[in-house]
Amino acid sequence: MMAFTAEQQKEIVRRLVDVLHPLRIYLFGSHAYGTPHRDSDVDLLVVVQDFEIPYRELAFRGRRSLRGMAIPVELHVCTEAEMEKWSKVPCNAIHTVAQKGRLVYAAPDGSRKGVA
């Protein structure tokens, strides 16, 4: 596997912002913690205002936007309400992201709504 570069991160974030209009994007897992190995993918949590369209469609649109990237990406999507609720509950993925993940994007106005 190639190294995950700053340029790749910027391109992934740009594509996800264009398609999903998130409030925030977090990098978590081995790339965020500085421990990637040969088979590591890029783990991302995309936080949206709410699900105006079904979750599966959001995830599909996000994954589709990342086609052609030279690095595998594991994409997770949740709402702001889910992030707020589950970030306080130990032993779940959102809590781990809230505690150890790295914020790689925040909407400039902090309140972007919906999905294109």
Q: Flag whether pLDDT at 116 surpasses 70.
A: no
| CA distance to 11, 18, 36, 52, per residue, from 61 (Å) | 16, 11, 26, 13
What is the per-residue pLDDT across 33-55, written as a single tens digit (0 to 9) for each? 989 988 899 999 999 998 788 88
Print burial letters for 41-72: b (CB count within 10 Å at least 16), e (below 16). Answer: bbbbbbbbbebeeeeeebeebbeebbeeeebe
pLDDT score at 73: 95
- Domains defined along the chain, listed by start: 6-106 (3.30.460.10)
Looking at the chain, the whole-number percentage of residues with pLDDT higher than 70 is: 92
| Both structure tokens of 34 | 């500085």
| Global pTM value | 0.89
CA distance 74 to 92: 17
Closest CA relative to residue 44, chosen from 70, 71, 68: 71
pLDDT score at 3: 75
| Both structure tokens of 105 | 């994007």
